[in-house]
Amino acid sequence: MCFAFDARPPALPADLVHPRMAGGAAAEKLELTSADGTAFSAALAESAEGGGPGVIILPDVRGLYRFYIELAERFAEAGHHAIAIDFFGRTAGTGERDADWEYLPHVEQTRASQIQADADAARAALAERTDATSFVTVGFCFGGAQSFLAATSPALLLDGAVGFYGLLAGGRFGMPRVLDHVGETRCPVLGLFGGDDQAIPTSDVDTYDRLLSEADVEHEVVIYPGAPHSFFDRSYEEHEGACSDAWRRVLSFLEQVGAARTA
């Protein structure tokens, strides 16, 4: 898994918190319906300001839990409506799960096309509930790879995709290998990786960067020296600099996507 069950996302840099949202933007728990009729859980945090791209958060292998609900709230503090989704409505139903939940059998039954359909339902919920008119996926670990794959979807029509330490060459759990589909990428991409990630060799990251360039995809790929897998966690005090920089890059990416949409 990516984060511990009781992990929390790193705080926003103080200068990026919108004053009207400094007290927090409580997320609303929702039940959405995917294209195949599956009900799944989500958490929507609305910004008091809005106006920028809406964020669709794709979690790690454990699906929707407190870390990602709070992360949606942090995006709302930064001025972006955000919705975090759960991947496992088809096999595990809806609602909260405890720390001992056995996620792996459910991950193995999940398919990229299903996740993209769920993300599309989340996009529709953002469009209906907020003023968002452009949409970016932000994924972590398993969800990071799904974010990169979602960027290749002709149906989802994203305006951008962000992936934190998404597996690029593994093809685990029956999922497509990201590196095999780079040429199909349809939107700008931001990739954030740890230089000391034992699961993702820097050679894979360099290959992804090169293939995006060869496909003429607008992108930025960043490797944080010494940072491990799942470094984006408040408990990793020694990686506070990487977390702060990652926040800034993600929010700058969202700003650029929004500007491109209105240009």
pLDDT of residue 25: 66
Considering the entire predicted model, what is its pTM? 0.95
d(CA 96, CA 114): 20
Ramachandran angles phi, psi of 190, nearest 5°: -120, 120
Q: Is 143 contained in some domain? A: yes
* CATH number of the domain enclosing 163: 3.40.50.1820
Q: Is 107 contained in some domain? A: yes
65 contacts 145 by C-beta, under 8 angstroms: no
Q: Is 91 contained in some domain? A: yes
Q: Is 6 contained in some domain? A: no
pLDDT of residue 123: 97
pLDDT of residue 1: 56
How many independent structural domains does the chain possess? 1
pLDDT of residue 50: 76
* Residue pLDDT tens, the chain, 263 long: 577 778 889 988 888 887 544 445 689 999 999 999 999 999 999 998 877 899 999 999 999 999 999 999 999 999 999 999 999 999 999 998 999 999 999 999 999 999 999 999 999 999 999 999 999 999 999 999 999 999 999 999 899 999 999 999 977 777 899 999 999 999 999 999 999 999 999 999 999 999 999 999 999 999 999 999 999 998 888 999 999 999 999 999 999 999 887 77
Burial 150-182 (b: 16+ CB within 10 A, else e): bbbbeebebbbbbbbbbbbbeeebebebbbebb
Q: Is 15 contained in some domain? A: no
pLDDT of residue 21: 47
What sign does the CA torsion over 163, 12, 120, 133 have?
A: negative
Q: Is 196 contained in some domain? A: yes
Q: Is 70 contained in some domain? A: yes
Show the domain range for 97: 29-262
Strands in 82-85's sheet, in edge-to-edge order, are 28-33, 39-45, 82-85, 54-58, 135-140, 160-164, 189-194, 219-224
Structure tokens at 250: 């993600």
What sign does the CA torsion over 34, 37, 43, 49 have?
A: positive
The DSSP 8-state label assigned to residue 177 in this structure reads P
pLDDT of residue 260: 87
Q: Is 19 contained in some domain? A: no
36 contacts 117 by C-beta, under 8 angstroms: yes
Query: CB within 8 A of 33, min separation 6: which ones?
Result: 39, 40, 121
d(CA 188, CA 192): 14
pLDDT of residue 26: 86
